[in-house]
Each structure stands twice: as C-alpha cells, then as structure tokens.
A and B are shown apart, each in its own frame.
Chain A
Amino acid sequence: MTIKIHTPLTREKVKELKVGDSCLITGTIYTARDAAHKRLKELIDNDKPLPIDIENSTIYFVGPTPSKSGQVIGSAGPTTSYRMDDYSPDLIKLGQTGMIGKGKRNGAVIDAIKTYGAVYFGAIGGCGALLSKCIKKCKVVAYPDLGAEAIHKLEVEDFPVVVVIDSHGNNLYEIGPKNYLTQNKAE
C-alpha cells in the first residue's frame, strides 16, 4: 500500500509511519549534503539562527546535477546518509522530523529519531533521472557558493520513498533482508 504524505511532517504524522511503508511525499523539502550540514552545525554550536525553518522540516541528502535550460533540476537521487550522522541528531533535536537518503545510520541518529520522533526515508539510489521528475520547483536558499551542495528549497509532488527507520527505531535494513531470507528458506 502506498501512503500519500504532505510536508511539513508533524510529529503526529511521523508516528503513523511504519517501517517498510511506501510513501509519496508532496510539499516543501530542503536539500543538504556534507558541506551544508557542516555549516548548519557551526551555526547551532554558536547559537546562531539557521537559514531554513527547521521545525517539522524534511531534509533530502542530495547534490543534483546542473539543470539544462527548461529543466527544474538535473538528476537528483539520494547520497549516502552516514556522512550526515555527526550532524543529524542536533537538527532533529531542533525540530527536523524527516530525512531522505540512502544507506545505514548510526546509533546516535537512531536514538535521536526515537527520542524526538523523526523518520528516515530511503529514496532509490542511482535513480536521479527518474526522481527529478517529481521535483516541480527548485530554489537556492542558502550557501550558493557551495554549488551542487548549496541548500535548495524543493517543491516535490508524489516523491517516492520508503520508511527505512520509523519513529520506534525499527530498521528496514535489518528487517527486510531477514524477512526475505526466512521466506526464502520456508519455500
């Protein structure tokens, strides 16, 4: 079953999402990768305001290719999320509720997800051309000097993701392969 969700992702909405759910996201999301996260963390450490509204926000870990004329954005699939593990807990603490990426997260991120009520979605890695079709608007809102790594504000429509870690800490990277192997053995 596919669940349609709209951003901003309130904690109530987050709580209803279960590991393995296929979702289609519509609304505003922000992009940030390593370099932008590093700057956000420096602001947090110095008690300075952030350039984006972090409350109930969703951050997509992506650095798109440049857009050709007439294109909203270039190819835009997820990057590996563990490189953001040092930064995500602080942002979740400040109110971020959604993350979109690919790959494993560490214990500190999973703890923050459970404590504050957040969700980690996976988008399909290596499907940047396909995913770019769901991005309807794109605007740089911070750190333009970072190029592809700048923070972009995106308007997405039916952007396909899967719940990889839900607010209870259930993890699809553990459950999915296990279920497959048990089923496979049973047959």
Chain B
Amino acid sequence: MREIDALTITNTVKKLCIEANCHLSCDIKNCISACAENEPWPTAKDILNQIIENYEIADRENLPICQDTGVACVFLEIGQDVHINGNLNDAINEGVRQGYSGGFLRKSVVRDPLDRVNTGDNTPAMIYYEIVSGDKIKITVAPKGFGSENMSAIAMLRPSDGIAGVKDFILKTVREAGPNPCPPIVVGVGIGGTFDKAAYLAKKALLRPIDLPNATPFYADLEKELLEKINALGIGPQGFGGQTTALAVNIEHFPTHIAGLPVAVNINCHVTRHKTEVI
C-alpha cells in the first residue's frame, strides 16, 4: 500500500487549475493553426488568426485564455493500492480554492442553483472518481465553460433509430447551438450506458487529445464522418460563416440495455482545456 498525503493532491490540483486555464494544449493549438491555414472564407480565417494571437498572449503572459475559467471538473484515476492520508474531497476542493485565487481566475460557482449566491472560491469542484489497478493517482483538471456546456444535450433514442438517429441528433445539437458555444467547437459524444453514463462519457470524451481517434476503427470512422458533416453546415468560427465549425468529434461508447440507445453531446469551445499529472 502506497501512502499519498492529501497535501500533495491539493498542490497538484492547484497547479493544474492554473496551467489548464492559461496554456492550451498542443493538439488544440496545432488543429487551430491547420484550420486557419485551410479556411477559405476570409472573415473566418481572420477570426482563427485572432484566436491564435489570443492563446499566444495567454501563454506569454500567463493570462487566462478565456474569462470564463469554468467550473473545475476534476477526474481522478486512483490506483487501488494507494492510501490517502487526509480527506480526499477536501484536498481537491482546497486545490481548486488556492488555484482560482492564486491564479487570478474567475470564480463562477453559485452555492445553490436557485438562490444563486457565489461561493467566492469556485468550489465545489465537479469530481469524478475511477478506481484502477496500481499504486498511482492520475489527476486531470478540465475547467469547463458554460457557454458551451449550456448547448449540450442528451437523447434517449430507440434502438431502431440506429446509427442514422445518432448522427441526426448530434448534427441537430450542433446546428441549434450555432454561434453560442464560441465555435470552432470540440464535440464530445457518449453513446450507450444509462442516462447519466452517456453524459459522463460525453464529458470524458473531451479529455482525449483531438489528434487521437477512437481506438475502435468503426467509431474512429464515425468521428471523421461527423466532423466532415458538421463542417459542411457552414456555421463557421463565431457563427459568422465558414468551414471551421468544429475542430474534432470525440466519441466514447459503452454497452447498454436491450431497450435503449442513449446519446449525449457535450459541446466544448475552442478553449478546450485539460491538464493531467500522475503522482
């Protein structure tokens, strides 16, 4: 049994909150540059170039890429041979608290969805635990903005709706979102499981680097086909028209019930942020 101190968790979460918010990962940057290069529509190209300038400023000056520094989604893969000294939930929330205040990040969490009083420190985090084998902990912090979160949707399709129904629902969700989620977007899709599992898979899909297709060829092809279809909609960067509506479609799938075909679409913006560390 390996012992890990709660303080190590706090310090790691703190660091990841700040890094994720100020420095976009290479897969996203490379994709945006390539899209800017290939974009045929002048206004769209101009917007993509400003998006590049923005993340370069953020990198250089350690500034948040976007003012919506999100709700902190924290994913942990905990090795079953690890023992944590201290309260794990508290340690994570303390990391978020320190990261958001020390990193000059915006506090965007309200304590109750109806009375809407800001908690003032961006806690609580949305925490997702998974137990895996081994004696390490993998922590990923993914700040999630709500401009794109609000455009997400879930459908409990019938098995007879099949793949055509799945594609239609994804395209409909992106079309209806239009300019709202700050396109170009990254589309996270969860297919299968239960109502909540599909939504979780869609969120988890957003953690996968966008240059890494689904490991199953069938789903990798579906990702590619959907990306082409989305980029043929013409929405374009910021919804002003153009080729670059989405940077990627990432799909995760899971077994499901004989009676069901859940599909969840979690939309993320071009500021798709996540940073990981293994301790």
A residues apposed to B, CB below 8 Å: 20, 35, 62-68, 74-77, 79-80, 82, 102-104, 122, 124-133, 146-149, 160, 162, 164, 172-173, 175-181, 183-184
Contacts and interface: CB of A to CB of B under 8 A. Distances in A.
Contacts of B66: 75, 77, 125-129
9 contacts: A63-B68, A66-B105, A67-B104, A103-B239, A148-B107, A176-B242, A177-B234, A178-B234, A178-B241
A103 B58 contact: no
B99 to A, nearest CB: 13
Interface in B39-58: 40-41, 43-44, 47, 50-51, 53-55, 57-58
Chain B CB count within 10 A is highest, among A79, A125, A128, A183, for: A125
Contacts of A148: 67, 106-108
A75 B67 contact: yes
B179 interface: yes
Q: Bin the interface of chain B by size.
A: 35 or more
A128 B150 contact: no
Contacts of B78: none
B170 interface: no
Contacts of B234: 177-178, 180-181, 184
B271 interface: yes
Q: Tell me whether chain B's interface is mostly helix, strand or loop, or mixed.
A: loop
Contacts of A175: 241
Given A80-B180, A126-B271, A103 B51 contact: no
Interface centre among A20, A164, A181 (most CB of B within 10 A): A181
B67 A74 contact: yes
A128 B241 contact: no
B120 interface: yes
